[in-house]
């Protein structure tokens, strides 16, 4: 019975412990900034206008009605500006309790309006914002917190339950596991040639030059290392070697970011890594980074 009580207590502590709000605030800022970059990258009116590049079932099914009433351009422009405002308010922490749920709904509406300019990273970005709906991510590092402190004086922030952060952790682990299982079913990954084709092909390659033949063996090795890392991430990230696992992920995604055109996939994944940082040390880490930037030459 004592063992069961210990397991029960550990389970409750894992899901329902109270933590400082700084991790949620950092996630809010990063995800809001990524959202702004997403809208800026798809700013071309052709992606928004009903008469532009739209799937047959786009514009929420209202395309014919909007065109008939001469609102095809105005509706797309209004949606684009609304999304930009939502992401900006979320990043700045303006009316956070309203801005975060509104951004979540607007993000869903954006993909339903026209999914063509967005990658699969948008689905992950959308899911991460959903987790922030249940936390007070504007308690610190926000316009709301600044306004409250200027009115009532500086006060220590309260705490939030950890379970929204756990949901992000589980979401990221499932992303890697599902990606690894899909890759195992792909003959190019099993043969070790996947990264060579991705970096050398015209679809994802970021650089204008081809990869030298001398790097072929390295791409094969990196293909298998990536597959192994994604398969083991859902297990190893919960062990004592979590920092090593996360730093390997940072190196992998930064490398992908520099060599491949994947939209905001890498920044979104790296932002989600905040969920794996010790929430009690997030404030100290960010303060330390800010001091280092302040004294940097």
- How many Cβ atoms are within 10 Å of 119's Cβ, its own excluded? 16
Q: What is the pLDDT at residue 207?
A: 76
Measured in degrees and rounded to the nearest 5, phi and psi for residue 263 equal 65, -135
Measured in degrees and rounded to the nearest 5, phi and psi for residue 264 equal -100, 20
Report CA-CA distances (Å) from 113 to 9, 47, 238, 267: 45, 9, 38, 23
* Residue 152 or residue 47, greater confidence: 47
> Please, what sign has the CA dihedral across residues 42, 117, 73, 110?
negative
Q: Cα–Cα distance between 176 and 180 in angstroms, integer?
A: 6
Sequence-separated (6 or more) residues with CB below 8 Å from residue 291: none
Q: What is the pLDDT at residue 292?
A: 58
Q: Does residue 49 carry a pLDDT above 80?
A: yes
Tell me which residue of 45, 80, 75 sits closest to 62, measured CA to CA: 75
Is residue 34 a contact partner of residue 125, using CB atoms and an 8 Å limit?
Answer: yes
Q: Does residue 58 carry a pLDDT above 60?
A: yes
3-state secondary structure of 160: strand
Query: Which 8-state DSSP code applies to residue 75?
Result: H
Q: Does residue 79 carry a pLDDT above 80?
A: yes
Q: What is the pLDDT at residue 206?
A: 80
Which range is least confidently modeled, 102-111, 178-187, 203-212?
203-212
Q: Cα–Cα distance between 124 and 145 in angstroms, integer?
A: 28
What average pLDDT score do residues 33-59 get? 89
Percent of the chain with pLDDT over 90: 60
Is residue 94 a contact partner of residue 87, using CB atoms and an 8 Å limit?
Answer: no
**Chain-wide mean pLDDT for the chain?**
90
DSSP state string for 200-232 = HSTTTB-SSSPPPGGGHHHHHHHHHHHHHHHHH
Q: What is the pLDDT at residue 294?
A: 52
Q: Cα–Cα distance between 29 and 11 in angstroms, integer?
A: 30
**Which pair of tokens denotes residue 18?**
């109270």
What average pLDDT score do residues 49-53 get? 88
Q: Does residue 223 carry a pLDDT above 60?
A: yes
Q: What is the pLDDT at residue 5?
A: 84
282-297 pLDDT per residue, tens: 888 777 665 555 544 5
For the entire predicted model, the pTM comes to 0.91
Q: Which residues pair with 258 in a beta bridge?
A: none
93-147 pLDDT per residue, tens: 999 999 999 999 999 999 899 988 888 888 899 999 999 999 999 999 999 999 9
Is residue 100 a contact partner of residue 244, using CB atoms and an 8 Å limit?
Answer: no
């Amino acid at each position: 019975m004592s063992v069961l009580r210990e397991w029960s207590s550990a389970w409750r502590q894992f899901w329902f412990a109270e933590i400082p709000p700084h991790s949620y605030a950092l996630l809010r800022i990063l995800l809001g900034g990524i959202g702004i970059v997403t809208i800026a990258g798809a700013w071309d009116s052709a992606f928004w206008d009903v008469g532009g590049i739209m799937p047959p079932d786009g514009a929420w099914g209202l395309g014919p009605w909007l065109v008939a009433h001469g609102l095809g351009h105005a509706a797309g422009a209004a949606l684009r500006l609304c999304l930009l405002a939502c992401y900006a308010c979320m990043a700045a922490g303006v009316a956070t309790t309203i801005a975060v749920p509104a951004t979540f709904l607007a993000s869903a509406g954006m993909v339903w309006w026209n999914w063509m300019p967005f990658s699969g990273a948008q689905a992950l970005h959308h899911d991460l914002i959903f987790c922030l709906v249940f936390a007070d991510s504007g308690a610190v590092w926000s316009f709301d917190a600044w306004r409250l402190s200027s009115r009532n004086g500086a006060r220590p922030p309260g705490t939030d339950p950890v379970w929204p952060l756990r949901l992000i952790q589980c979401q990221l682990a499932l992303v890697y596991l599902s990606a690894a299982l899909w890759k195992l079913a792909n003959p190019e990954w099993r043969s070790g040639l996947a990264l060579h084709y991705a970096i050398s092909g015209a679809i994802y390659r970021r650089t204008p030059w081809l990869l030298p033949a001398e790097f072929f063996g390295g791409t094969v090795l990196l293909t298998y290392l990536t597959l192994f890392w994604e398969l083991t991430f859902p297990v190893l990230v919960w062990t004592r070697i979590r920092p090593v696992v996360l730093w390997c992920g940072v190196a992998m995604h930064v490398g992908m970011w520099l060599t491949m055109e994947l939209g905001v996939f890498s920044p979104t994944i790296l932002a989600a890594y905040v969920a794996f940082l010790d929430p009690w040390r997030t404030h100290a880490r960010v303060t330390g980074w800010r001091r280092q930037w302040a004294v940097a030459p």
